[in-house]
Amino acid sequence: MNQTVTNTRSHLITPCTSRKRGDYGIPIRVSELSAPDLGTLTTQWFNSLNSSKAFETSAVDLYAGGAWSLVKELCKSFDYQWVLSAGYGLINANSIVKPYNITFSNGKSESIPSLNFATQKEANIYWWRAINQCKSNKARIDGGITKLLSKYRNDNFLFVVSKSYIEVIIDEINNCIERNIIDKEKIIIISSYKANGACKHQVLRVDPNLTTYFRCTLANLNYKLAQHIIEKKTSFGIEYFKKEIEKIKLEPKKKSTKKKLSDEEVRIITIEILHKYKDAAKSKTKALDILRNTYNLSCSAERFSPIYEFCKVHIY
């Protein structure tokens, strides 16, 4: 049995991303598999992953997109980074994985099939438990959320998660609190999800109207909110976090004063992005995502494309 770690550290837990880098090979897609039930599908899934000819890489290097760029910036303020992966379960950001395409989000081509379950939520919960228990899953954290919270029970855990991902782990978090595996004050969840149970009051529910303040998409709002709170050096505690958000709401609404960038300014910023984000910016789509979502600047794809190609040629 792992002994409990006693010194207080901080842990960041976020979902995986639908966008993944394409230079590691063809991903395993759940839509290309067929099974009568999710138990059988779990076995097929890991047989396919383990026999895939795609290259292995760390999870942190596989995921891509604007949201993941925000996560990578955010994780610099934490001691540990964990990922809620629809393909591998609970994994460390440095766990070795292969390309895959499956999601807990509803209505997607690669959503987990409900098969013998009445609802998508029930199917998602079953799938999460199955992949975390599957011995063929070489990347999983043995024991999942419960073992993680137990081992580091004196540490602080920040979950920054979407509704479809928190739904599959909320019962496990509640159970850990109810069984005194961890104090609820050690957990904060940033999400749009309305939780019940032991961690009900540990959820910082995200107000969608804050997209205007942070000048971001709804998909990136959770991360922007977390980033803002961390940058303010807010003490870890749900009430401290809530007060920080209340300060935003009390600020007078600002008129948009976003400066129109010249081509030369876009070039300078693009060069900075290419140097700073390297592989994560090796396509114009990824670089534009970073410019928009991390730098909070606007530029049309049509205008950005030739500028990006010019910068890329001169750098590489």
- What element of type H or E holds 275? helix 263-277
In the numeric block, which tokens belong to residue 216? 């971001």
d(CA 280, CA 140): 25
Mean pLDDT of the chain: 91
d(CA 89, CA 15): 10
pLDDT class for 198, splitting at 50, 70, 90? very high
pLDDT at position 315 is 76
Backbone phi and psi for residue 76, each to the nearest 5 degrees, phi listed first: -65, -20
pLDDT at residue 65 is higher than 90? no
Q: For 27-144, where are the E strands, in sequence order?
A: 28-29, 57-58, 80-85, 89-92, 96-97, 100-101
d(CA 37, CA 35): 6
Mean pLDDT of the 24-45 span: 96
pLDDT class for 295, splitting at 50, 70, 90? confident
Mean pLDDT of the 47-66 span: 95
pLDDT class for 1, splitting at 50, 70, 90? very low
Mean pLDDT of the 288-305 span: 85
Mean pLDDT of the 125-130 span: 97
Report which of residues 11 and 2 the model is more confident about.
Answer: 11
pLDDT at residue 175 is higher than 60? yes
- 48 alpha carbon, distance to own chain's centre: 24
Looking at 96-105, 188-197, 256-265, 289-298, which range is the least confident one? 256-265
pLDDT class for 314, splitting at 50, 70, 90? confident
| Residue closest to 24 by CA, chosen among 132, 82, 101 | 101
In the numeric block, which tokens belong to residue 250? 């009390």
- Could you tell me the end-to-end alpha-carbon distance of the chain, in angstroms, rounded to an integer? 49
pLDDT at residue 2 is higher than 60? no
Beta bridge partners of 203: 189
pLDDT class for 122, splitting at 50, 70, 90? very high
Mean pLDDT of the 163-192 span: 96
Contact 119, 167 (CB under 8 A): no
pLDDT class for 50, splitting at 50, 70, 90? very high
pLDDT at position 289 is 84
pLDDT class for 6, splitting at 50, 70, 90? very low
Per the listing, tokens 């749900």 go with 238
- Report the length, in residues, of the chain: 316
Q: pLDDT tens, 93-111? A: 999 999 999 999 988 999 9
Mean pLDDT of the 143-153 span: 96
Per the listing, tokens 């009051």 go with 201
Mean pLDDT of the 47-67 span: 95
pLDDT class for 44, splitting at 50, 70, 90? very high
Report which of residues 256 and 181 the model is more confident about.
Answer: 181
Where exactly are the structural domains of the chain? 10-250, 263-315
d(CA 2, CA 263): 56
Backbone phi and psi for residue 62, each to the nearest 5 degrees, phi listed first: -80, -40
Q: pLDDT tens, 243-266? A: 999 998 887 665 555 567 889 999
d(CA 58, CA 66): 18
| Separation in Å, CA 60 to CA 83, 95, 228 | 9, 8, 22
Contact 289, 65 (CB under 8 A): yes
| Residue closest to 16 by CA, chosen among 79, 110, 107 | 110
- DSSP structure class, residue 9: -
